[in-house]
Amino acid sequence: MKRVSFRRLLDVLGGLVLASLVLVPSATGLGALPALGTALNPGTGVWRLSADAGTARSGEMALPGLKNPATVSFEDNGIAHVRTGDDQDLFRVIGYLHARFRLVQMDLTRRQANGTLSEVIGAATLEVDRFQRDLGLRRAAERDWAALGDDNPAKATLQSYSDGVNAALRELRSGNRMPTQFAVLGYEPADWSPVDSLAVQRLVGQKISFDSQAPLFSYAEKAMGTEAFKAWFPDVPENKQHPYDKGPFKKLPLTPLPQRSFPDPGNGTTKASAAGQTKPDGPLALGAGSELAPLLERLGELPNSGMGTMGHSNSWVVSGSRTESGKPILSADPHLPHSLPSIWYQLEGRSPGYHFSGVTTPGLPVPLLGKTDDFSWGLTASQRPTTLYYLEKTEQGRPDEFFSKGSWQPMTLLREKIAVRGQSDVDHTIKLTSHGPVMEVEGLTAAVWWAGTLPNDNLHSMLKMLRARNIQEFRDSLSNWVTPALNFSYADRHGDIAMFNAGVAPQVDGHPPTLPLPGDGTAEITGSIPFEALPSSVNPPEGYIVSANQREVTGDYPYQYSTSYNWVLHGWRDGEIVDRITSAGKLSFAETAAMQSDWHDNNARQLVPLLLEALNGEQLSGSEQQVVDMLRGWDFTAGPESLAPAFFDSFKNRVSWVTFEPWWKHYGVKQNPGEYLLPKGPDAGAWAQETLRGTVLGWIQHDPDNKYFSLPDGTKRTTTQVLREAFHQSVKRTVEKFGADLNGWRYDRYQRVLFPSLLGISALDVGPMPWGGNPRTINTSVGTRDDDAGNPLSNLSTAGPTWRLNVDWGTGEANSIFPAGQSENPMSPWYANGVPVWMKGQFWPVLEGDAVKGTSEWRLRP
Amino acid sequence: MRVVLIIAAVAALDAAALLVGWWWVTILVAALTVFRFAGTRVLLAVLAGTVVAWGASMAAQAGSQLGAVADLVAAMALNNRGLGWVVIVVSLVYALLLALAGSWIGGAARRLRRTEPEVVAEQEETLEAQHV
């Protein structure tokens, strides 16, 4: 009897053990494993992917909070057209739309901004979270939200937008229709708040304005000394420049900067606020996290986008005197890292007080580029110093103090806990000096003053801008713009064109803000360039204005401004754009739009003729003669079928290498820890190379006797010798790499473009595909990826024009395209439907009003 | 006949629950079925009904894109689009594990509460079931 009972007991026990083994991972997941029941069940798990991937089915639905009925029409390409009877309804519907099509992107973006990625990803993103918490986007967003007055329209707009997002969240939750990616990741997003939007807004600014150029170039400046450093890296690049504001300049008194306040130092133990943004239950608190799934590992690579490594853009406006239509044309294409989904969500919004078409960023309620009924506008990053590094004096015995203005000051300490998936929370202490958070960047520990966390009311500026009726109102709307520093291009129906630089421009007495500054109080910021004195151009006599991240002003600008090494672009793209505009007759809309796909390399256009001249009389081998013949017939296009870029890719770097490499060895310039200040080899690119390429070209053109062409030991060299040596080396190297047959040198055999999935999953990427272009072409191709050894992957373009816009105020035509799609669902036909159109240099028309041919429509009722 | 009915009933109950995401009903249905009806054939019928319910629900949700969805999930979870079949197999094996766990609990509970005469009756019932 006893034996039988024991067996039965074992029987029950076995059943319970098996049930537990199945139930625990089913209900809560294990470590990196998501909750299997939620993830795999056919009703609400991953198998819904195709059901949710639909474009947008017509129908009527409730959107709580709406004051009046609203509609959203969808074109067959996914572009949305929102019509509401109330202004706040418009932003509510935009929030709803964003959440319905980009919820995963929104949540990950918010987490990156807030420093809470590790909570859902694990230890792989811990350093990113630390970095973001140090930088303090969330702190700044909370501060600015608290400071918004009730009468500020930005407050209502942010609230309406959040309400729309949360309405979609509730709908998705109650219908068990959360995006499948959440099932795979094993969590659900929390409600959206206005503070989240403000944090995302700052993250967008971070991606284009937070830079590490000052500590990076300090390695060169320290080794070379100021004189040599300034010769190589001058304020104004040595090669031909195209500033859109040529003066005369006004030297106006500085304006005070918005004052930022940090939490009370006496408190000292400020705990992180509700930055978690997730349901606390579920898999996050469970499991050892011993083995991360590939998805989680790839997500761990997201920090790359936290540093401004790619902030190029083009925008130009041409007045009616130069266009076929007799009215202005605006073209704009912001260059950023490609991703699927894109940073952009395109829509038309119409309400009693607003009518715009343009691109929004999921998380933000307003378009950042686009057009209204009265004007069109574009943006380019103004590459002037807004990230300042202060070297604080500290002592081992005073770990939480810094020496400033003659005495030891306490740092403000903020103690936070970072939730990490698969392990216990990690303590993190943020140290703040009067200059900013203490951070380690490029091997340098410094307090970082970054304009991106200054108090700002940019959304209010954007709302005013969207209601502007003319150039004066547009300009006025920008007068309080704080950050990031941008050039706003403008063209309107009245015939006016303009470019306005906006944003704070910190000035430091007696020290260049582009290099690390002493933190002892002798290099404090004295104010900002007043808006009235920032670069601008209105209806210039030449009939065009171009911004392509070049230095906006001439050398006599009376303020501290960008330098050749402070991330500014060196005149290649703007040079090409100016050439194209000035050499054309009357520009048509189609011609202007086609310029955005231009692949002429302006560096080659200037350097190759000098090389060919230098080779006159030189003894050449058979291969070298072939290359010379090829170069003589080259139109300087770096298109997919071109042969010459194979050679020029090497040559442009070798000219700098042959000139400068003996010298930086002589000076003992050290490589930065990330090893991208100096080229690792004669054909490698590097940050210093970007500047030196312009420097050496300018010297060859205007200063051929410059001492740096000769060798440090006194051996005399001429520019001709330098060019010849670089040529011989480059031909040898190109033949070794691609063979002696020039037909094997086609650019598209090795130049590729890749549109990576935002989740970092290569199986969800589009590409790589044969491509053309380089960082100097108008149609920019920039690589932002490293190989496994940490070396930049050459010839893999992962960044470039993320949206193209053209508006002709004479014909009324407008078109646009972005290399992605409106939906983040990889199964949606709107996931990457813009890629092939973009690659062909084609566009989608920007349709408005009755011209919209909606293939489906949502009718939203309160 | 009873086996067929069990398959149909299990499949219907499971599928209905799966429509709203109640994956745990698979365990419950298996447990109750095996608690009520004993025998190997009943167990196999429960497993078959479970597979039918999960397979049909997966196909109903994904439609003609079942393979594509599986490939996409494989891409997200395994970073390999070619392993979609693994995702399908894992899903069905997982469903079977749920049913097995439920069946075990149901069977154990049944055996725990039975008395000697019930054992005899059960044996008779099992024999009877084998002739259905």
Q: Return the closest-CA partner of residue A527 out of A807, A272, A252.
A: A252
- CB atoms near residue A740 (< 10 Å): 12
C-alpha distance from A71 to closest chain B C-alpha (Å): 28
pLDDT of residue A55: 64
CA distance B108 to A185: 35
C-alpha distance from B130 to closest chain A C-alpha (Å): 24
Q: Tell me which residue range forms the domain holding B113.
A: 2-130
CA distance A370 to A357: 6
A29 chain-B contacts, CB cut-off 8 A: none
pLDDT of residue A844: 97
Nearest CA in chain B to A48: B61
Name the β-bridge partners of A371.
A357, A376
**Is the distance from CB of A692 to CB of A607 less than 8 angstroms?**
no
CA distance A806 to A332: 7
The answer to ipTM > 0.85 is: no
CA distance A498 to A490: 5
Residue listed under structure tokens 């029941």: A37
Amino acid, single-letter form, for residue A811: T
Residue ranges of chain A with pLDDT lower than 70?
Answer: 1-4, 29-34, 50-55, 261-311, 441-444, 568, 784-793
**Is the distance from CB of A411 to CB of A402 less than 8 angstroms?**
yes
Phi-psi region of A63 (alpha: psi -120 to 50; beta: other; left: phi over 0): beta
**DSSP strands (E only) in chain B:** none
pLDDT of residue A262: 54
Q: Do B18 and A41 touch (CB under 8 A)?
A: yes
- Token readout for A142 is 């909370």
- Token readout for A576 is 């090409």
Backbone angles phi, psi at B10, to 5 degrees: -60, -45
Amino acid, single-letter form, for residue A287: G
* Beta-carbon contacts of residue A292 (< 8 Å; ≥ 6 apart): A32, A122, A124, A300, A422
Q: Return the closest-CA partner of residue A106 out of A44, A32, A193.
A: A193
- Token readout for A463 is 């709302």
What is the CB-side half-sphere exposure of residue A174 using CA atoms within 13 A? 6
**Is the distance from CB of A678 to CB of A664 less than 8 angstroms?**
yes
Number of residues in chain B? 132
What is the torsional sign of CA A768, A770, A773, A779? negative
Q: Between the CA of residue A673 and those of A215, A441, A564, what are the distances in Å?
A: 11, 9, 22
**Is the distance from CB of A84 to CB of A94 less than 8 angstroms?**
no
CA distance A790 to A674: 8
CA distance A647 to A612: 14
What is the CB-side half-sphere exposure of residue A196 using CA atoms within 13 A? 29
Crossing angle, helix B40-62 and helix B2-19, to 10 degrees?
Answer: 40
A184 chain-B contacts, CB cut-off 8 A: 73, 76-77
B102 chain-A contacts, CB cut-off 8 A: 19
What is the CB-side half-sphere exposure of residue A566 using CA atoms within 13 A? 25
B13-44 pLDDT tens trace: 999 999 888 889 999 999 999 998 888 899 99
**Is the distance from CB of A656 to CB of A570 less than 8 angstroms?**
no
B22 chain-A contacts, CB cut-off 8 A: 41, 43
* Beta-carbon contacts of residue A293 (< 8 Å; ≥ 6 apart): A32, A33, B77, B78
Q: What is the CATH number of domain A602-636+643-745?
A: 1.10.1400
Structural element, H or E, at residue A359: strand A355-360
Of A18, A293, A294, the CB nearest to B100: A18
Q: Where are the domains of chain A?
A: 602-636+643-745
Angle formed at CA A75 by CA A192 and CA A198, multiple of 5 degrees: 20
Name the β-bridge partners of A375.
A492
User: Which of the pair, A260 or B94, is modelled with greater confidence?
Assistant: B94
DSSP state for residue A59 in the 8-state scheme:
E
B54 chain-A contacts, CB cut-off 8 A: 42
A34: buried, middle or exposed (CB in 10 Å: 19+, 13-18, 0-12)? buried
**Is the distance from CB of B26 to CB of B17 less than 8 angstroms?**
yes
Of B74, B79, B105, the CB nearest to A762: B79
Q: Between the CA of residue B115 and those of A5, A9, A341, B42, what are the distances in Å?
A: 12, 15, 64, 21
Determine the straight-line distance between the first and last CA of chain A, rounded to whole angstroms: 70
A175 chain-B contacts, CB cut-off 8 A: none
C-alpha distance from B48 to closest chain A C-alpha (Å): 17
pLDDT of residue A439: 83
A22 chain-B contacts, CB cut-off 8 A: 27, 97-98, 101
Of A11, A18, A37, the CB nearest to B24: A37
Residue listed under structure tokens 């072939």: A626
Crossing angle, helix A153-174 and helix A87-114, to 10 degrees?
Answer: 80
CA distance A25 to A21: 7
Phi-psi region of A29 (alpha: psi -120 to 50; beta: other; left: phi over 0): left
Residue B104 has pLDDT above 50, yes or no: yes
What is the CB-side half-sphere exposure of residue A419 using CA atoms within 13 A? 23
Nearest CA in chain A to B96: A22
- CB atoms near residue A21 (< 10 Å): 12
**Is the distance from CB of A93 to CB of A110 less than 8 angstroms?**
no
Q: How far is CA A249 from the centre of its chain?
A: 31
Q: Return the closest-CA partner of residue A778 out of A572, A569, A584.
A: A572
A446-505 pLDDT tens trace: 889 999 999 999 999 999 999 999 999 999 999 999 999 999 999 999 999 999 999 999
What is the CB-side half-sphere exposure of residue A685 using CA atoms within 13 A? 18
pLDDT of residue A787: 63
Nearest CA in chain A to B58: A42
Backbone angles phi, psi at B122, to 5 degrees: -65, -40
CA distance A679 to A675: 8
What is the count of structural domains for chain B? Answer: 1
Residue listed under structure tokens 């995702």: B87
Crossing angle, helix B66-78 and helix B40-62, to 10 degrees?
Answer: 90
Angle formed at CA A409 by CA A403 and CA A413, multiple of 5 degrees: 115
Q: Do A298 and B79 touch (CB under 8 A)?
A: yes
Q: Do A18 and B104 touch (CB under 8 A)?
A: yes
CA distance A71 to A857: 7
Structural element, H or E, at residue A547: strand A544-547
Q: Do B62 and A763 touch (CB under 8 A)?
A: no
Number of residues in chain A? 862
CA distance B107 to B36: 9
Q: Is A481 in a helix, a strand, or coil?
A: coil
pLDDT of residue A269: 39
Q: Which of B35, B76, B105, B113 to mutate to test the interface with A (most CBs of A within 10 A)?
A: B76
CA distance A348 to A844: 14
C-alpha distance from B69 to closest chain A C-alpha (Å): 6
What is the torsional sign of CA A674, A679, A681, A683? positive
CA distance A529 to A503: 9
* pLDDT band per the 50, 70, 90 thresholds, residue B2: confident
- Which residue numbers of A have CB closer than 8 Å to B's CBs? 8, 11-12, 14-16, 18-19, 21-23, 26-27, 36-38, 40-51, 176, 180-181, 184, 293-295, 298, 759, 761-764, 826-827
pLDDT of residue A45: 80
Q: Return the closest-CA partner of residue A795 out of A687, A684, A694, A636.
A: A684
pLDDT of residue A282: 27
- Token readout for A34 is 């998501």
Residue listed under structure tokens 């969590």: A187
Backbone angles phi, psi at A678, to 5 degrees: -105, 150
- Token readout for A23 is 């139930």
Amino acid, single-letter form, for residue A335: H
**Is the distance from CB of A49 to CB of B91 less than 8 angstroms?**
no
- Token readout for B57 is 């629900």
Nearest CA in chain A to B95: A41
